[in-house]
Amino acid sequence: MARSSPRLVVFDLAGTTMQDDGSVATIFQQVLASEGLGTSLEQIVQVRGASKREAFQRLAVDSEQAKRLLEAFVASICGHYAATPPREVPGTSAIFAWLHDQGIKITLNTGFERGLVKTLVEGLGWDRGAFDAIVCEDDVDAGRPSPAMILEAMRRTGITDPATVMTVGDTVLDLQAGTAAQAGWVVGVTSGAHNHERLLRTPHTHLIAGVAQIRELLR
């Protein structure tokens, strides 16, 4: 059974703490089209939250094409956010500060690779010291819905009991990973890729509009 408050909160990045401006899905689709791989918007939606490396491996003809697709995706995303700096979901920095004031550890986990995450975190103006750990898709052997990134976040922060962990994400895969990790709080937010109806069909403990509501949830 979960405590009255968690010891660790594991946040997703795009769509959860960083605003989803639609560029991730658009660039994903454009990169696939550049290699003659047509995909529907629904197919793109279904892989939101997944490791981009694994998503391209799933959709590519072979491993060499998957590698090219990932490299093109990272270059395009970096170019997009260099021209249009990323913005945080409203209330994110405030909830980070509030959680730290409560003595609760904070980590990010994301399906992006580390070089891109560094660019995004810097673009958001977040101090790297605001996080007790940042776990990226290339830090673990398997991306979501595997709980590997959550378990790695626990390892890096010295948390051993998953019942004291809250996971927060905007996709079905985020919720599935939190459930697989046996987290005490598996929280879905409707600020990103997947809407309330889609998240509602996936096991979770809470659904909220955005991360700013975490303070109210824990009260």
Q: In this predicted structure, what is the pLDDT of residue 68?
A: 95
Instruction: With respect to residue 3, please indicate whether it lies within any of the assigned structural domains.
Output: no
Which of 58, 83, 108 lies at the terminal end of a domain, its last residue?
Answer: 83
Domain of 39, CATH number, reads 1.10.150.240
Average pLDDT, the chain: 91
Q: For the residues 174-188, what does the mean pLDDT come to?
A: 98
Candidates 9, 10, 41; CA nearest to 24 is: 41
> Could you tell me if residue 2 is inside a domain?
no
pLDDT at 3: 58
Q: Tokens at residue 186, please?
A: 């598996």
DSSP bridge pairs for 206: 187
Same domain assignment for residues 107 and 76:
no
- Residue ending a domain, choose from 33, 64, 83: 83
Please, which pLDDT band fits residue 85 given cuts at 50, 70 and 90?
very high
- Specify the pLDDT at position 143: 83
Boundaries of domain holding 49: 23-83
Categorize the per-residue pLDDT at 1 as very low, low, confident or very high, splitting at 50, 70 and 90.
very low
Task: Give the CA diameter of the chain.
Answer: 51
The stretch 196-217 carries a mean pLDDT of 96
171 and 211 co-located in one domain: yes
Structure tokens at 81: 């956010």
Q: How many domains does the structure of the chain reveal?
A: 2
Residue 94 pLDDT > 50? yes
